[in-house]
Amino acid sequence: MTGVTILGAGVAGLCVAHELTTRGASVRLIDPQGGLTGCSRYAGGMLAPFCEGETAVTEVVTLGQGAADWWAAAGVQVERRGTLVVALGRDQRELVRFGRRVPQHRALSAPEISELEPALADRFQKALFIQDEAHLDPRKALSVLRDGLARRGVSIVTDGPISGQLIDCRGLAAREDLLKLRGVRGEMVILRAPDVTLHRPIRMLHPRHPIYIVPRGEGLYMLGATQIESGDQGPARLRGIAELLNAAYALHPAFAEAEVLEIGADARPAFPDNMPRVVKAPDRIHVNGLFRHGFLMAPALAQEAATLVLNSRKPEHIE
């Protein structure tokens, strides 16, 4: 058994721990906050490599395609229902642009939209459907990984000695070691809207305030997310939340009656190319810079890090 210490029990740390223990390694998982905190809590949970390809580098599209299977194999409930992309009347050109950048889409007519999402019947004349995408509930997913680790005898400790190889998954807290790492602020809202039934993530394009709504079941919806070049991890600002709520209301007026259950804000760790990666340092391996691709990219990075630790073989996406 190889001994590995993992710092940080957000989505990166938990995925690395799960991957390593699956491969038979012995793991210590240290998180001063006890884990399941930090920006992973505020993620949308969309496993949408093709949609992310609108702006992300090709590696995100390629590596992200394995995420849904990885999470399902880890025992997490993964909804494979694709992504629906829409735009309001005057923003139709955004749909054209998005379609050019995301060739994996299928263009839907109004009847096809209402067949997929009856709640949106008559609200949109055109939409793009990306079939091979999925979503999950990030908080449930993290709990599933934590509980699975506990069954394997690994519990998250808040402090303790570092033994064996070190994998640093601390996100922004690792900034003193990763000088190019920066924070990109995001704000999100959790709504309960039992009057609205949506079955899959809906992305609503807008030149200034693109949003997405992810169903979490039982009338719950996650509404996200702003993206601001700032490392500020403080409370949400009115402007960002107003934009998100207005957009939700524009998507479907029934969201007006939604209960606002939670407003969240944090900063995502990101490298200058916004590409998540494994970085080999003299005394540790970093898994960091997950940006807005945490649940999409953590599985692939966990596999790379595990391979690096266990086989000392250099995978492709390391620098």
Partner 1 sequence: MPVFYETEIASPLMLGTALYPSPDVLADAFRRSGAGVATVSLRRESAGGGDFWELIRELDIPVLPNTAGCHSVREAVTTAHMAREVFDTDWIKLEVIGHADTLQPDPFGLVEAARILSEDGFRVFPYTTEDGVLAGKLLDAGCEVLMPWGAPIGTGRGLMNPYGLRTLRAQFPEVPMVVDAGLGLPSHAAQVMEMGFDAVLLNTAVAQAGDPAAMAEGFALALRAGKLAYDADPMEPRDMAQPSTPLMGLAVLE
* Lookup: tokens for 248: 């939700």
Chosen residue from 32, 66, 231, 315 binding partner 1 by CB under 8 A? 231
Is residue 182 involved in binding partner 1 (CB under 8 A)? yes
Is residue 303 involved in binding partner 1 (CB under 8 A)? no
How far apart CA 217 and CA 199 sit, in angstroms, is 9
DSSP single-letter state for residue 228? B
Q: How far is the CB of 182 from partner 1 (least distance, A)?
A: 4
Chosen residue from 73, 75, 101, 281 binding partner 1 by CB under 8 A? 101
Chosen residue from 18, 28, 185, 292 binding partner 1 by CB under 8 A? 185
* Closer residue to partner 1 (CB): 182 or 200: 182
Is residue 183 involved in binding partner 1 (CB under 8 A)? yes
Is residue 109 involved in binding partner 1 (CB under 8 A)? no
Is residue 131 involved in binding partner 1 (CB under 8 A)? no
Q: Which residues contact 206 (CB under 8 A, 6 or more apart)?
A: 87, 88, 91, 94, 247
Is residue 235 involved in binding partner 1 (CB under 8 A)? no
* 68: amino acid identity, one letter: A
Q: E strands, 99-255, where?
A: 106-109, 126-130, 134-135, 156-157, 165-168, 182-192, 202-205, 211-217, 220-224
* Closer residue to partner 1 (CB): 141 or 178: 178
How far apart CA 309 and CA 42 sit, in angstroms, is 29
- Widest CA span in the chain: 61
Of 68-76, 114-122, 131-139, 178-186, the window that binds partner 1 (rule: CB under 8 A) is 178-186
Residues from 241 through 270 that contact partner 1 (CB under 8 A): 267, 270
Is residue 272 involved in binding partner 1 (CB under 8 A)? yes
* Lookup: tokens for 197: 């039934």
How far apart CA 48 and CA 25 sit, in angstroms, is 30
Q: How far is the CB of 273 from partner 1 (least distance, A)?
A: 4
Q: How far is the CB of 304 from partner 1 (least distance, A)?
A: 20
Instruction: Number of residues interacting with partner 1: please give it, by CB under 8 A.
Output: 25
* Lookup: tokens for 315: 């995978």
Q: How far is the CB of 301 from partner 1 (least distance, A)?
A: 18
Of 4-12, 53-61, 121-129, 256-264, the window that binds partner 1 (rule: CB under 8 A) is 53-61
201 to 220: interface string for partner 1, x by CB under 8 A:
------xx------------
* 178: amino acid identity, one letter: L
Nearest-Å Rg of the Cα atoms of the chain is 20
H/E stretch holding 298: helix 294-311
CB 308 within 8 A of CB 315: yes
Please report, to the nearest 10 degrees, the dihedral formed by the alpha carbons of residues 120, 238, 220, 300 taken in order.
90
Is residue 63 involved in binding partner 1 (CB under 8 A)? no
Residues engaged in binding partner 1 (CB under 8 A): 55-57, 97, 100-101, 182-183, 185, 207-208, 228-234, 239, 267, 270, 272-275
